[in-house]
Amino acid sequence: MLVPVSFYFLRHGETDWNRRRVMQGHRDIALNARGIEQAREVAPAVAKLPIASICCSTLMRAKATAEIVNTRGLALTIIDDLKECGFGIYEGQDAGGPWREGWRNGEAIPGGESLAEYSTRLLRGFNAALAKPGPVLIVGHGGSVWPLEKFAGIATGLRIANCALFRFDPPKSDNAPWTYTTLAEPASPSVAIGEAQPSAL
């Protein structure tokens, strides 16, 4: 169960692999110039939040984003369980490949994590973050939406683009889903996990 407290979530900025629309998973890919600019663009919105703690994934694209938006110098807690899903043999391959549907339906990935394994791990990471003094900002990955669909009842299809900033709120009654509010997105063009390559890029 996801700890029922409100929190903020920020996806990392763009990397070259995001721009190419290939799966990153556990590959430790750095932010590109646009990703750094995206983080700088949302930093003022983050600065207005009443956050007491910032937690992030161990992967450098999330850590760098957290460092850029942390303009108040809060202590940064790095949590390994918040890192992106391990996509095994599909890391470095097309993000919209035909393997995705089977994986979403429970199939295993050679050398990677099943959706159930990833969801369980990420739930553990989210709850570890939410045990910190709140409100908490979690800086993570686009794949975080899948466990949120499972454990928070978020509707399938939520678009989490690079450096999109959200607030998630627990349900106000039994059996109701969590709700979310988009607070900010960078002016620089951004992509969500699995999106097709636009002709303009």
Task: Indicate which residues carry an active-site annotation.
Answer: 12, 84
Coil, strand, or helix at residue 154?
Answer: coil
Q: In what order do the strands lie in the sheet with 165-169?
A: 76-78, 53-56, 136-140, 7-11, 165-169, 179-184
Side-chain-side CA neighbours of residue 93 (13 Å): 11
Token pair recorded at residue 109: 């990935």
Alpha-carbon Rg for the chain, nearest whole angstrom, is: 16
160 DSSP assignment: -
- Which residues are paired to 166 by β-bridges? 9, 182
CB 72 within 8 A of CB 50: no
